[in-house]
């Protein structure tokens, strides 16, 4: 270590829309009678027109609101006119309906391919449908049978990331299928493990080729997705940590070793918190982002104070100073290479800022690459 329950949402028209509509429809006869009586009185008293030309419309028709205009008013109150369609020809509601149907078909196909014994259920001799039953999937995933049935039927219901994660594990989805599931559900997947699994194998090869220079791959949430041996010597060990703790921001506030090794710790964490808040503007509703803020606020008063300042910052290529217990001071220029803009995935490389640091990185590489020597034991006489 360097010393450094899901339920469908019911919608209703606003109260004033309901009142107006019911008033016209339920009390239409009373309204019409009252209006016609007022019109006849006005004509009799001379307040209305003194003569009605041939073919003129009767007072009843003049006063009673036409049904076509009534329907138009109701539509305007409830929502926009149906004729307003985006330039691509598909409304937001239409797009969601297509997503739900695609999601329904995808879930059915994944369910039908799984044998009961694959998920620990006894094999059934007779089944009317291939694969698992809907109630079996719901039970294994810990969700309601009715809710899962509606999901497979393409009903308009909301699915949380936690529920989709349980369904994905029950259906034995691989990383690509899991990502497809969350995209169809239009729900962000905040799983760090899922992001790690979607990195191509060539990413690790590239990281390894950079040794003796430290390098890692992180997302905008500072989750460390991959790293090389040189980075592990600097900020590790990381392999034994749980996924939720492989986070640079978390380690800077909770690891005494990382804090002591970073000579400009105060300025560094202030910038990191500002970058995190700026990046979170696009992920304010995602559970993983809010969870990290909550965890850090509970364990670190310094983080809570920085978070309440609402400072923001953009990622920059700067110089960091580390104090290594074996080789001393390291001055490293770090550079961000963006791999995925949607998730903010980037490779960060640490190159020596001077010749002395370059030599010390080579010393570290030779020291940790040297094979372990076995001390010979005396043989019994």
Q: What is the pLDDT of residues 75-88, one digit of tens each?
A: 333 334 444 445 45
Whether residue 6 is contained in a domain is answered as no
114: closest CA among 42, 172, 35? 172
| Stated pTM of the model | 0.52
The residues, ordered by sequence, that sit 6+ positions from 59 with a Cβ below 8 Å of its Cβ are 35, 36, 39, 40, 42, 43, 48
Both 183 and 200 in a single domain?
A: no
Measured in whole angstroms, the distance separating CA 125 from the mean position of its chain's CA atoms is 41
Half-sphere exposure of 162 (CA within 13 A, CB side): 7
Domain shared by 259 and 338, yes or no: yes
Q: Does residue 181 share a domain with residue 202?
A: no
The reply to whether 233 and 254 lie within a common domain is yes
Instruction: Please indicate, yes or no, if residue 5 is contained in any of the structural domains.
Output: no
- Among 116-125, 290-299, 347-356, 365-374, whose mean pLDDT is lowest? 365-374
Flag whether pLDDT at 109 surpasses 80: yes
Q: Are strands 319-324 and 224-227 parallel, antiparallel or unpaired?
A: unpaired
Tell me: do 258 and 315 sit in the same domain: yes
Task: Mark whether 298 and 272 lie in a shared domain.
Answer: yes
4 within some domain:
no
**Residue 31 and residue 66 in one domain:** yes
CA triple 9-13-18, angle to 5 deg: 140
Q: For the chain, give the number of residues.
A: 381
How many Å apart are CA 158 and CA 185, to the nearest integer? Answer: 8
Among residues 62, 4, 11, 18, the alpha carbon closest in space to that of 36 is found at: 62
Over residues 210-263, the pLDDT tens digits come to 999 999 999 889 999 999 999 998 887 899 898 889 999 999 999 999 999 999
Same domain, 102 and 134: yes
CATH number at residue 102: 1.10.260.40
Range list of β-strands (E), the chain:
215-218, 224-227, 319-324, 328-340, 345-352
DSSP 116: G
Q: Are residues 313 and 294 in the same domain?
A: yes
In a domain, 85, yes or no: no
Does residue 208 share a domain with residue 141? no
The overall longest dimension of the chain from CA atoms, in Å, is: 139
CA atoms within a 13 Å half-sphere pointing along the CA-CB vector of 50: 0
Q: Characterise 126 by phi-psi region: left (phi > 0), alpha (psi -120 to 50), beta (else).
A: beta
Mean per-residue pLDDT for 48-66?
42
Closest among 285, 203, 288 to 247, alpha carbons compared = 288
Contacts 24+ apart (CB under 8 A), 252-261: 253/296, 253/299, 253/300, 253/302, 253/303, 254/299, 254/300, 257/1, 257/2, 257/3, 257/4, 258/2, 258/4, 259/4, 260/3, 260/4, 260/323, 261/2, 261/3, 261/4, 261/234, 261/322, 261/323, 261/324
- Count other C-beta atoms under 10 Å from residue 10's C-beta: 5
Domain membership of residue 11 (yes or no) is no
Residues 43, 36: Cα–Cα separation, whole Å:
11
Which of 160, 187, 214 is where one domain is finished? 187
Number of folded domains in the chain?
3
Q: Is residue 381 part of a domain?
A: no
Same domain? For 251 and 178 the reply is: no
- Range(s) of the domain holding residue 152: 93-120+130-187
Phi, psi of 222 (to 5 degrees): 70, 15
Q: What is the pLDDT of residues 314-365, one digit of tens each?
A: 888 999 999 998 899 999 999 999 886 655 789 999 999 999 999 999 999 8
- At residue 275 the predicted structure's pLDDT band, cuts being 50, 70 and 90, is very high
Distance CA 45, CA 258 (A): 94
Give mean pLDDT, residues 31-45.
Answer: 49
d(CA 285, CA 248): 22
Please give the residue that has the higher pLDDT: either 351 or 381: 351
Same domain, 226 and 183: no
- 153 domain residue, yes or no: yes
Domain for residue 84, yes or no? no
More confident position, 99 or 346 = 346
């Amino acid at each position: 270590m360097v010393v450094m329950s899901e339920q469908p949402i019911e919608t209703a028209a606003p109260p004033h829309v309901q009142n107006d509509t019911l008033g016209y429809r339920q009390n239409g006869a009373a309204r019409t009678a009252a209006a016609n009586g007022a019109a006849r009185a006005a004509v009799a008293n001379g307040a209305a027109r003194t003569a009605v030309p041939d073919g003129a419309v009767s007072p009843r028709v003049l006063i009673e609101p036409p049904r076509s205009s009534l329907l138009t008013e109701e539509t305007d109150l409830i929502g926009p006119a149906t004729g307003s369609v985006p330039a691509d020809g598909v409304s937001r509601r239409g797009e969601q309906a297509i997503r739900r149907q695609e999601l329904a078909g995808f879930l059915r196909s994944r369910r039908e391919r799984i044998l009961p014994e694959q998920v620990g259920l006894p094999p059934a001799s007779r089944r009317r449908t291939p694969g698992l039953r809907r109630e079996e999937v719901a039970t294994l995933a810990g969700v309601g049978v009715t809710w899962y049935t509606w999901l497979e039927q393409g009903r308009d219901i909301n699915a949380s990331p936690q529920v989709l994660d349980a369904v994905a594990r029950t259906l034995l989805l691989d990383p690509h299928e899991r990502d497809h599931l969350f995209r169809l559900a239009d729900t962000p997947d905040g799983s760090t493990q899922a992001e790690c699994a979607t990195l191509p194998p060539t990413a690790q090869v590239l990281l390894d080729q950079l040794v003796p220079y430290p390098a890692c791959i992180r997302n905008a949430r500072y989750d460390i997705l991959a790293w090389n041996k040189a980075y592990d010597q600097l900020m590790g060990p990381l392999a034994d940590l749980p996924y939720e703790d492989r986070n640079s921001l978390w380690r800077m506030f909770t690891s005494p070793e990382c804090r002591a090794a970073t000579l400009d710790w105060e300025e560094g964490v202030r910038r990191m918190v500002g970058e995190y808040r700026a990046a979170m503007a696009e992920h304010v509703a995602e559970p993983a982002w809010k969870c990290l803020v909550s965890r850090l606020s509970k364990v670190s008063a310094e983080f809570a104070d920085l978070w309440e300042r609402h400072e923001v910052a953009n990622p920059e290529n700067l110089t960091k100073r580390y104090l290594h217990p074996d080789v001393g001071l390291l001055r490293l220029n770090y550079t961000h290479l963006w791999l995925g803009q949607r998730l903010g995935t980037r490779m960060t490389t640490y190159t020596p800022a001077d010749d002395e640091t370059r030599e010390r990185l080579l010393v570290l590489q030779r020291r940790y690459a040297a094979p372990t020597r076995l001390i010979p034991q005396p043989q019994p006489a």
